Amino acid sequence: MSNDLPSNLYRVEQVRQAEVEACLGKDNGLYELVEKAGQAAFEIIFPLSKANSPICILVGNGNNGADGLVVARKLLEEKLSVCVMAIDKAVSTAEHQQARTAFEAQGGQVNTIDYECLSDFNLIIDALFGVGLSRPLDGDDTLLVKKVNRSAARVISLDVPSGVNADTGNAVTAIKANTTIVFGALKAGLCTYQARHYCGEVVFADIGFAEFLPETHIKRVDALMLNKVLGKRQRHAHKGDSGKVVVIGGDIGMPGAVTLCAEASYRAGSGLVAVVSRPEHQAVVIVCRPELMFSGAEFIDMDIYHRLGWADVLVLGPGLGRNDWGVNLFKAAMMTDKPIVVDADGLNILSRRPQKQNNWVLTPHSGEAARLLECDVEMVNQNRFEAAKQLHEKYGGVVVLKGAGTIITDGTSTYVATVGNPGLASGGCGDVLAGIIGSLLAQGLSLLNAATIGVVVHGYAGDRVALSGGERGMLAGDLMVEIRRAVNL
Per-residue pLDDT 10s for the chain (489 aa) are: 665 799 999 999 999 999 999 999 888 889 999 999 999 999 999 999 887 789 999 999 999 999 999 999 999 999 999 999 998 766 689 999 999 999 999 999 999 999 989 989 999 999 999 898 777 788 889 999 999 999 999 999 999 999 999 999 999 899 999 999 999 999 999 999 999 999 999 999 999 999 999 999 999 999 999 987 777 888 888 888 789 999 999 999 999 999 999 999 999 999 999 999 999 999 999 999 999 999 999 999 999 999 999 999 999 999 999 999 999 999 999 999 999 999 999 999 999 999 999 999 999 999 999 999 999 999 999 999 999 999 999 999 999 999 999 999 999 999 999 999 999 999 999 999 999 999 999 999 999 999 999 999 999 999 999 999 999 999 999 999 999 999 998
Region(s) of the chain under CATH 3.40.50.10260: 9-216
Between CA 417 and CA 415 the distance in angstroms is 6
Closest Cα to residue 125, out of 50, 199, 72, 182? 72
Q: Are 409 and 415 in contact (CB under 8 A)?
A: yes
Residue 183 β-bridge partners: 205
Q: Classify domain 225-486 by CATH number.
A: 3.40.1190.20
9-216 carries CATH number 3.40.50.10260? yes
Asked if residue 126 lies in contact with residue 155, where contact means CB atoms within 8 angstroms, the answer is yes
Domain span(s) for CATH 3.40.1190.20 in the chain: 225-486
Q: Which pTM does this prediction carry?
A: 0.95
CA neighbor of 194 nearest in space, from 388, 426, 398, 384? 384
Of the candidates 357, 388, 359, the residue with the CA atom closest to the CA atom of residue 373: 388
